[in-house]
Amino acid sequence: MDINRRNVLKGVAAGVVGTAVTGGLLAAGAKADADAAAPAASSGPASVPFHGEHQAGITTPQQRYSTHAAFDVTASNKADLLALFKTITARARALTGGGAAPDLGVGSPPSDSDVLGPDIPADGLTVTLAVGSSLFDDRFGLAAKKPKNLTPMKSFPNDALQPALCHGDLMLQLCANSPDTIHHALRDIAKHTRGGMQARYRQDGFVSQPRPSGTPRNLLGFKDGISQPPPSEDDEILWVQPNSGEPTWAVGGSYQVTRFIRMLVEFWDRVSINEQQNMFGRRRDTGAPLDGQNEFDAPDFAKDPKGDVIPLDSHIRLANPRTPATEKNRILRRGYNYDNGFDENGNISAGLVFTCFQQDVKRQFEVTQTRLIDEPLVDYIQPFGGGYFFVLPGVRNSTDYFGNGLLT
Amino acid sequence: MWADGLPNLLIGLREGLEAGLVVSILLAAVRRFATGGDRSDRSASTAPIWYGVAAAIVLALSFGAVLTFYRSVLPTTGQEALGGALSVVAVILVTGMIFWMRRTARSLAGELREKVAEAMKVSTAALALTAFLAVGREGVETALFLWTAAQASGQTVAPLIGAAIGIAIAVLLCVLLYKGAAKIRLDLFFNRTAILLIVIAAGVLAYGLGDLQDAGWLPGHSWVAFDLSQHIDASSWWASIITGVTELSPIMTWLQVAFYLGYLAIVLTLFIREGRRQHTPVGTVAEPKSEPAREKLATPGRNRAIVAGAFVLPPLIAAALIGFAPGSQATAQQIMVTGSSCAPGWSSAQGGNQNFTVVNKSGHTAEVNLIQTASQGIVAEIETLGPATSQTMSATLADGAYTWRCLIDGMPTTFSTQVQVNGGGTSDASSAPPPVKPITADELQPAADAYDRYVQPKLVTLAGQVNQIKTDLAAGNIPAAQADWLQAQLTWEQVGAAYDSFGDLGDAIDGLPQALPQGVGDPGFTGLHRIEYGLWHGQGAAELTPIADQLSSDITTLQGKLPQLTVDPTDMPLRAHEILEDALRDHLSGMTDEGAGAAYAETYADVQGTQVVLGMLRDQIDTRRPGLLATVDAQLNTLSQALLATQANGQWQSLSATPLAAREKVDGTIGALLENLSIIPDILEVPAH
């Protein structure tokens, strides 16, 4: 057979070019499709399992949007309280799983608001239910079952707590990939629990995108939440353990502290960069500790005993001195930024929904916060609401419910 | 009506051109080959093409039949994937055909007749297939377009006639092309038609790729190169002709553009180069055609079987689909409403949660109900279904017999045949919501009459209480006036179910200042709340007596008009929840408080007003939702208790003076009560038609 080498080479070249061009077009097209679809499918998991030993919304990846809604129980007896907890369980299970709303026929208003359309997406929703110390008053006879260190939130020096925005019998933390999912879930749970619990206060929040990368920033412009206890230490840091002096029902639960902290951003923006960085102990641009290069470098306080590099009263040094003695004080933070418009003076009313979880609120949050009293940052922040709560243990399966063990 | 025909004319024209151009060129080419440029013989050689065309028409008709009679909805992605794949295959075939013709033409020039015949024989199947694909893919698309248009307009005659005219014009244009082609020298004919074919094929390729992208078989659907759809009216006649001839659309993705240009560049280059390499004027050859060639062009037996299959299979498959569809668990059953029949052809249904697509082909607005025979209750309804529209409807069906009912204004009500549902005890079938027994305005009339009788003495009481306020004012006794104002206000609250019936008089008696231009200082601010404002803002007899006089006169006017201001019976069920919805919205928010702080007192009176309304509807509610009244009565009692618990020392307190726990109890209880009261308007809804 007469094979012309040049023609073969030409053919091969044409084939390669053609394949490359076609492949490139298809790949670019696929990327364009993915980009076009991106706004609908926001980042974050499609759904987070509801059942488990612990509740979701604590160690599960943090979603972009949140609401923290406190409720007071209006149910008048323990049986009604149990019914309320079972209703919340059922709604949380349905909402976090997604799917079409039930058909109530023509003899009722529709069962769902259709805010998320007829086929309700889970959209990464987590529903995390916690109880406040007031639930253990004389109304339901639960005093004996109160987690041992659950009290109303302490007012620290420099706090400006507003009673109407503090405490509450229940704390519902809803987190999801989009704000309308949270609105829908809150509206649905409120509709199904009317008469059993009454809204007390609420704060919506959001997590900023990583700018440009790494840990998202708070509204003071600093990366916030860089250093967290590793998952391997959850049993020492996070979850209530058996035989720890806590009631049996509380095992697998966790103490939650939620504090609404106003950031006086106009004042802050008039502060020099050096002063800002010394207050935090980190660089504002990279998030690196002042003695390090990169965001995740660990500060070495031992090498800097006089605070020449990282001031002794800087936020990161007081919050976590990184000594063997203070290891047990660490907390798992899961905060959200908030932006509530303007205050009466025309200043931006924004800040942080500080939320942390821990095994023991006294040993961990209170000790940490006590160290932080009078840190230089207090001039620029104002805690005004929130409370201490106890996150119930997880709902383990389809027959389990919130409050199992507490109410039965 | 004929306006519906025009767009379909253009569809027919466009699709007809798309299919016809390729076929015309094939026909002309084969004819020229078979006769070697001599037009004396026109008998057998084009048969394969006609077989292909005919088989494609059968396929399109079968597809149309499936669309019309199949109960399920064809997924558009499936249609796009089918059309796209057919297009790409057609391009490959047409391209091969072009080069085949080019080579065959050269063979002709060499007078190698045997070789020509050989080539023609080999390509008989290819010719038929090309024609089949060219016509088939457009035919399927035309069927879908026409079906959609007919569906949308709710009629079939005009769209079909329009499409037929369009196709006829396209065929005429193709015949002209064919005739013109027949007169040209064969080499010129090739140069012209082949290039035309290449351009068309490039368009078909781009179009097919676009379909595959829309179907999701290829990526890049959203990577758009240009979008002229905002500037070009794609349904105009000239746009139809351009898209018909070139197959280009106003929106193209980069993949489409690249393949369109790439195909044109490569194929045109190859075609021209091949022509240069060995160009011989073939048209001058005028050999008489030989017998063997014609014989071999005639369809042999094996091919005859394939052709027969192509003709018979599509209708068979269509018939099978139509015939066996209902048994095949269609996800959404189609229910038809026509002027003369309701859900014709509805013959079976499954239990549990079902979805229906209800199509209104009656030409009028219709109401459609699905009725459970045993209870004569409505299970699902579409209250307003516009002409030529369709809506989905879901229903959860328990075991039992069901009938569709179609109500159209000015036409007799029609019913479907009764169908027995056996759900096999599925879980959602057993949890089916209760059907709702329909109610008529006549059945609600006694309640409305009773309410009218209830209002009359209340207004007498109110008039007396306003007189008492005037007496107090004259005596300068403001605390007594305040106490009497509250009694008057509460009396008014108790006739709450009639608010809307009173029109402007209602505003004169109980209006609020918020919407008035000058607020509380507005001269239009009159009535009970104006007196409240004065009594709690240091005003005395001088200012308030004229207002009280005006109020008395307004009440007298209202009493005089009362016989004409009767309560609409269909409003009564709404009032059952709206009185307390208003209390939550207006009183418990503090919006109606002009100083007295009477929100809880007013809400308490609203509870009493609601109890009166419920008392008049008891029988109707009880027969439709047993147990609801017991729940609601208990919740009304709980609310009354919660409201009384806000009192301090037997005195009503303002909202802000009430402890949080007591407020929360009221808010929680009224919320829970309203969730249940909201069922009442739904179970006592009078059908609109």
For residue range A276-334, list pLDDT tens digits in order: 999 999 999 999 999 999 999 999 999 999 999 999 999 999 999 999 999 999 999 99
With a cut of 70, say whether residue A33 has pLDDT above it.
Answer: yes
Is A107–B435 a contact, with Cβ atoms under 8 angstroms apart?
A: yes
Instruction: Answer whether residue B279 shows pLDDT above 60.
Output: no
Model pLDDT, residue B158? 72
Task: Please list, in sequence order, all residues whose beta carbon lies within 8 angstroms of the beta carbon of residue A373, skipping any fewer than 6 positions away.
Answer: A156, A157, A158
Any alpha helices (H) in B536-570, and if so which ranges?
541-561
Q: Binning pLDDT at 50, 70 and 90, where does residue B457 land?
A: very high
User: pLDDT tens, B232-272?
Assistant: 776 677 777 777 667 777 788 888 999 999 998 988 888 88
Helices of type H across A320-384: 367-372
Range B65-86 average pLDDT: 67
Give mean pLDDT, residues A12-26. 77
Residue B569, Cβ neighbours under 10 Å: how many? 21
Among the residue ranges B59-68, B147-156, B298-307, B354-363, the one predicted with the least confidence is B298-307
Per cent of chain B over pLDDT 70 is: 78
Mean pLDDT score, B64-78: 63
| Range name among A5-19, A125-139, B472-486, B533-547 with the lowest pLDDT average | A5-19
User: B226: burial class by Cβ within 10 Å (0-12, 13-18, 19+)?
Assistant: exposed
Residues constituting chain A: 408
Range with the poorest average pLDDT among B293-302, B402-411, B544-553: B293-302
Instruction: Name the residue in chain A with its Cα closest to that of B679.
Output: A108
Give me the pLDDT at residue A208, please. Answer: 96
- Chosen from B213, B217, B221, B223 to mutate, greatest number of chain A CBs within 10 A: B223
> Taking every pair of C-alpha atoms in chain A, what is the biggest distance, in angstroms?
101
CB < 8 Å to A164, chain B: 660
DSSP state of B586: I
Question: Closest partner residue to B222 among A32, A197, A198, by Cβ?
Answer: A32
Give the model's pLDDT for residue B293: 39
Across all residues in chain A, what is the average pLDDT?
93
Whether the per-residue pLDDT at B156 is higher than 90: the answer is: no
Please state the rounded mean pLDDT for residues B418-444.
81
User: Is residue B112 pLDDT above 50, yes or no?
Assistant: no
Mean pLDDT of A324-348: 96
Confidence at B98, pLDDT banded by 50, 70, 90: confident
Interacting residues of B38 by C-beta distance below 8 A, sequence separation 6+? B286, B287, B288, B289
Distance CA A167, CA A162 (A): 10
Task: Tell me the three state secondary structure of residue A282.
Answer: strand
- Asked whether the predicted pLDDT for residue B43 surpasses 50, the reply is no
Confidence check: pLDDT of B296 > 50: no
Query: What integer pLDDT is reported at residue B62 of this predicted model?
Result: 83
* Confidence check: pLDDT of B193 > 90: no
**How does residue B425 score in pLDDT terms, banded at 50, 70 and 90?**
low
Q: Is A337 left (phi over 0), alpha (psi -120 to 50) or beta?
A: beta
Residue position matching structure tokens 């094939």: B26
* Of residues B337, B344, B464, the one with CA closest to residue B393: B337
DSSP bridge partners of A332:
A357
Average pLDDT rounded to a whole number, residues B279-288: 43
Residues of B with CB under 8 A from a CB of A: 213, 218-223, 253-255, 258, 262, 353, 378-381, 394-396, 432-436, 624-625, 635, 660-661, 664-665, 667-669, 671-675, 678-679, 682-683
Segment of B90-99, B141-150, B211-220 carrying the highest mean pLDDT: B211-220
B441-466 core/surface letters (b: 16 or more CB in 10 A; e: else): eeebeebbebbbebbeebbeebbebb
pLDDT of residue B579: 94
Q: What is the pLDDT of residue B154?
A: 55
Q: Is the pLDDT of residue A251 over 90?
A: yes
Could A103 and B353 be called an inter-chain contact, meaning their C-beta atoms sit closer than 8 Å? yes
Helix (H) or strand (E) holding A224: none
Question: Average pLDDT, stretch A156-179?
Answer: 97
User: At residue B109, does pLDDT exceed 60?
Assistant: no
Beta carbons of A105 and B433 less than 8 Å apart: yes
Res A257: pLDDT: 98
Is B328's pLDDT higher than 60? no
pTM equals: 0.72
What residue of A is the nearest CA neighbor of B436? A107
CB proximity A229 to B under 8 Å = no
* B-interface mutation test, from A25, A81, A169, A189, most B Cβ less than 10 A away: A25
What was the pLDDT predicted at B327? Answer: 40
Average pLDDT rounded to a whole number, residues B592-610: 96
Interacting residues of B180 by C-beta distance below 8 A, sequence separation 6+:
none
All residues at 6 or more sequence positions from B653 whose CB lies less than 8 Å from its CB, including other chains: B597, B600, B646, B647
B128: DSSP letter: H
- pLDDT score at B634: 97
Q: What is the mean pLDDT of residues A112-137?
A: 96
Residues of A with Cβ-Cβ distance to B433 under 8 angstroms: 103-105, 107-108
pLDDT attached to residue B94:
74
Separation in Å, CA A60 to CA A54, A186, B309, B557? 10, 20, 60, 68
User: Looking at the predicted structure, is the pLDDT value of residue A63 above 90?
Assistant: yes
Contact assignment for A29 to B213 by CB distance below 8 Å: yes
User: Per-residue pLDDT averaged across A200-213, rounded?
Assistant: 96
B170: how many CB neighbours lie within 10 A of its CB?
A: 23
Helix (H, G, I), strand (E, B) or coil at A116: coil
- The pLDDT > 90 percentage for chain B reads 37
Mean residue pLDDT of chain B comes to: 81
Tell me which residue in A25, A164, A197 faces B258 most closely, judged by beta carbons. A25
Question: Which has more confidence, B666 or B6?
Answer: B666
| 8 Å CB contact between A74 and A81 | no
Residue B9 has what pLDDT?
Answer: 78
Lowest mean pLDDT among A252-256, B210-214, B516-520, B671-675: B210-214
Cα Rg, chain A, nearest whole Å: 25
Output the pLDDT for position A35: 66
